[in-house]
Chains A and B, each alone.
Chain A
Amino acid sequence: MTLNRQPNFDDADAFYAALIEAHRDFSDAESEAMNARLVLLLANHIGSHDVLFEALDTARTSVLEERT
């Protein structure tokens, strides 16, 4: 299995709104804690070693690119 990077949301706009809404009234520390839990929940759902490592690598590379 490989990481699906094509559009895959049932409803992209609704998800995005819900994601922001889920952080409502949170301090930065609380948002950070929530994001960590979200990552863990989703990572467990995916489970596949290859997909997770590809996702980690893609996300990390994207952040590193901003450095330059």
Chain B
Amino acid sequence: MPASHKNAVYVYRHSADQDAARPVHHPVIVVGAGPSGLTAGIDLAFRGVRGVVLDDNDTVSVGSRAICFSKRTLEIWQRLGCAAPMLEKGIEWRLGKVFFGKQRVFEFNLQPEPGHGMPAFINLQQYYVEEMLIERAMRLGVDLRWRNRVVGIREHDDCVWVDIDTPDGRYVLTADYVVAADGANSPVRDMLGLESAGQVFNDQFLIADVVVEAPFPTERWFWFDPPFHEGQSVLLHRQADNVFRIDFQLGADADGNAALEPASIAPRIRAMLGDKVAWSLDWASVYTFRCRMMERFVHDRVIFVGDAAHQVSPFGARGANGGVQSAENLTWKLARVLRGESPVALLESYDNERREAARENILNSTRATDFITPKSHVSRVFRDSVLRLAANEPFARALVNSGRLSTPCAYRHSPLSTPDADRFEGAARPGAVCPDAPVVRLGRREFLLDSLGKRFTVICSGGGLPEGLRDDADIDVLEVGVDFDDVEGLVSKRLDLVAGGAYLIRPDQYVCARWRVPTADDVVTAWRRACALS
């Protein structure tokens, strides 16, 4: 365990369900209380479905794994009411430096685009994030059960039977749906005889979390082939509490256990930080990684999310971010299906959309991995040439790939999207996340995404609202100038929304249709399509 942080421990509580004569039924059982499962549990509660979340452990992530949480993930947690403490505790950095050998080849400054509620990303240890999610889940009354290990899954036509092992022995629950968020080695996946297929990378990495006491810049440093760790790469990243993540590539043949010895770690860190900086080792571990995904995420009543469904390399910070985004994609659909508002077919769109996202995340993280660890002679020649050129040639910097910022997938093939019939500028096309922008609503300054509710929303401008939609039971309306003011003109700019036009936004804040001049029929048809009702 890291010395800088003492993990919260959550006590096992005996549940009345364990004493019931017959298995107690719940609409949804979430297996696993990592970032994906917790987000699913919270979002379900937020949508009125009280799920049970089971976890085999009684604490959060041991040692820091994920550290970089992206804008879209923060927007989801903001919607669920738990982003504020994360933003407060997390670190924002702007300045990145790239080194090659002894040379600093270039710097970049990520100037954020103004007018968004959430930053492009923050750095925060995974254990903090999980503690804050758990806090939120408990407040919302999510039924979290610690030291409840799922040991069996039996799918029936009308429900799933789940066998659970606890300190008080075994019990059984039944559920309409099981959300399997039980991590990369998903026992649920194994129990169903399913697999996650893809690429294994042989390179080993050593992560060392180091507490640096002296003032040290809040920057991201990436070294290719540094003098203190020849032939490999090293990443330095700041987290909360003056903890710095140092990621050493060890290569395929290194002895991982030997590398973990303090006597072997210390000289490397000293060479990197210099003799003058006082530091202490907080936590270290060696890992290898895989990029893989399941062929299908939906298996009748068992639905896989997070690392259980799709796993990526750490470069580009897409693991937890992708998992949280999968969870939010699923929950509104599951809530509709459970309430009988949409047919089961709606769940198929989760499979379609999130497999597209997983492919995109795997592609991005594989490209970064191949740049950082070239797999052939010619690949290394090109990589090194890019780095040499990058010192003086701005064009080459675009090719330097030490992990691309995680951005949400814009679904190109979603069955829920209505293709554009009109011409629009900008990125807010059907299948993409609704862009954020500052607004004033009910006299308060907030952001467009804060104004979106739990249901579908029509955002319209200047008479773009067709007759009859104001009173629709399933669609909220936000009319520019009536329901909110577009104080900086950024709503109209980012959505290319002018008088007469309208957007239809899904409950997960994705755009599903837009028009220059819609009729009520257009909107209702698009809404039905997005609910899998047609």
- Closest approach, in angstroms, between the C-beta of B407 and any C-beta of chain A? 19
The answer to whether B381 and A44 have CB atoms under 8 Å apart is no
B432 at interface, CB cutoff 8 A: no
B382 at interface, CB cutoff 8 A: yes
Residues of chain B within 8 A (CB-CB) of A36 are 381-382, 385
The answer to whether A37 and B395 have CB atoms under 8 Å apart is no
B388 at interface, CB cutoff 8 A: yes
A33 at interface, CB cutoff 8 A: yes
B8 at interface, CB cutoff 8 A: no
Q: Which of B382, B386, B393 has the most CB of A within 10 A?
A: B382
- Separation of A64 and B440 alpha carbons in the complex (Å): 62
A32 at interface, CB cutoff 8 A: yes
Interface residues of A in 7-47 (CB under 8 A from B): 32-33, 36-37, 39-41, 44
A contact face: mostly helix, strand, loop, or mixed? helix
The answer to whether B399 and A32 have CB atoms under 8 Å apart is no
B384 at interface, CB cutoff 8 A: yes
Map CB proximity to A onto B379-410 as digits: 1 under 8 Å, 0 otherwise: 00110111011000101100100000000000
Residues of chain A within 8 A (CB-CB) of B388 are 33, 37
- Separation of A23 and B385 alpha carbons in the complex (Å): 16
Point out the residue from A32, A33, A39, A44 that lies within 8 Å of B395, measured CB to CB.
Answer: A44
Residues of chain B within 8 A (CB-CB) of A32 are 381
Residues of chain B within 8 A (CB-CB) of A37 are 385, 388-389
Instruction: Considering the complex, give the chain B residue whose CB is closest to the CB of A37.
Output: B385
- Separation of A32 and B384 alpha carbons in the complex (Å): 11
In this complex, how many residues of chain B approach chain A with their Cβ under 8 Å: the count is 11
- Separation of A36 and B378 alpha carbons in the complex (Å): 9
In this complex, how many residues of chain A approach chain B with their Cβ under 8 Å: the count is 8
- Separation of A41 and B396 alpha carbons in the complex (Å): 8
- Closest approach, in angstroms, between the C-beta of B397 and any C-beta of chain A? 11
- Separation of A28 and B32 alpha carbons in the complex (Å): 55
Residues of chain B within 8 A (CB-CB) of A33 are 381, 384-385, 388
Instruction: Considering the complex, give the chain B residue whose CB is closest to the CB of A38.
Output: B385
- Separation of A32 and B383 alpha carbons in the complex (Å): 12
Residues of chain A within 8 A (CB-CB) of B381 are 32-33, 36
Residues of chain A within 8 A (CB-CB) of B393 are 41
- Separation of A37 and B396 alpha carbons in the complex (Å): 10
- Closest approach, in angstroms, between the C-beta of B511 and any C-beta of chain A? 25
Instruction: Considering the complex, give the chain A residue whose CB is closest to the CB of B393.
Output: A41
- Closest approach, in angstroms, between the C-beta of A59 and any C-beta of chain B? 13
- Closest approach, in angstroms, between the C-beta of A33 and any C-beta of chain B? 6
- Closest approach, in angstroms, between the C-beta of B167 and any C-beta of chain A? 59
Residues of chain A within 8 A (CB-CB) of B386 are 40
- Closest approach, in angstroms, between the C-beta of B387 and any C-beta of chain A? 11
- Separation of A36 and B386 alpha carbons in the complex (Å): 8
- Separation of A36 and B388 alpha carbons in the complex (Å): 11
Residues of chain A within 8 A (CB-CB) of B389 are 37, 40-41
- Closest approach, in angstroms, between the C-beta of B377 and any C-beta of chain A? 9
- Closest approach, in angstroms, between the C-beta of A49 and any C-beta of chain B? 14
- Separation of A37 and B385 alpha carbons in the complex (Å): 6
- Separation of A44 and B385 alpha carbons in the complex (Å): 14
- Separation of A32 and B386 alpha carbons in the complex (Å): 13
- Closest approach, in angstroms, between the C-beta of B401 and any C-beta of chain A? 14
- Separation of A44 and B382 alpha carbons in the complex (Å): 14
- Closest approach, in angstroms, between the C-beta of A17 and any C-beta of chain B? 24
- Separation of A33 and B381 alpha carbons in the complex (Å): 6
- Separation of A37 and B386 alpha carbons in the complex (Å): 7
Instruction: Considering the complex, give the chain B residue whose CB is closest to the CB of A39.
Output: B382
- Separation of A12 and B487 alpha carbons in the complex (Å): 59
| A residues apposed to B, CB below 8 Å | 32-33, 36-37, 39-41, 44
What are the 4 A-B residue pairs with the smallest beta carbon separation, nearest first? A36-B385, A44-B395, A37-B385, A36-B382
23 contacts between A and B (CB under 8 A): A32-B381, A33-B381, A33-B384, A33-B385, A33-B388, A36-B381, A36-B382, A36-B385, A37-B385, A37-B388, A37-B389, A39-B382, A40-B382, A40-B385, A40-B386, A40-B389, A40-B396, A40-B399, A41-B389, A41-B393, A41-B395, A44-B395, A44-B396
Extra inter-chain contacts (19) besides given A33-B385, A37-B388, A41-B389, CB under 8 Å: A32-B381, A33-B381, A33-B384, A33-B388, A36-B381, A36-B382, A36-B385, A37-B385, A37-B389, A39-B382, A40-B382, A40-B385, A40-B386, A40-B389, A40-B396, A40-B399, A41-B395, A44-B395, A44-B396
